[in-house]
Amino acid sequence: MNRREDEQRATESRRILDQISSETDGGTLLSRASAGLRDHVTAKDADADDHIDRLGTRIGRSVGLILTAALVIWLVVFLIRGG
């Protein structure tokens, strides 16, 4: 029984270590952030079976991203001109 518990613990430890290594082996912070943004905008988390929902999610997230970028650009221009 003791050997079996040791094997179970070793298997669980390997699984945890593999999961940690897969989460941390993603490259630089910038590459992980850009991959996360791409997955968010392309609606990877949306229901794959509902195509209309997925399309609507993509459109909404893309419009939100464009509006955010436009507001940031406006703010920079506003601050440079002296407000």
Q: CB of 10 within 8 A of CB of 2?
A: no
Domain count, the chain: 1
| Structural domain containing residue 62 | 2-80
Please state the pTM of the whole predicted model.
0.56
Q: CB of 23 within 8 A of CB of 7?
A: no
CA neighbor of 57 nearest in space, from 75, 66, 45, 69: 45
| Per-residue pLDDT reduced to its tens digit, 4-56 | 888 888 899 888 888 877 666 656 778 778 888 888 888 888 888 888 988 99
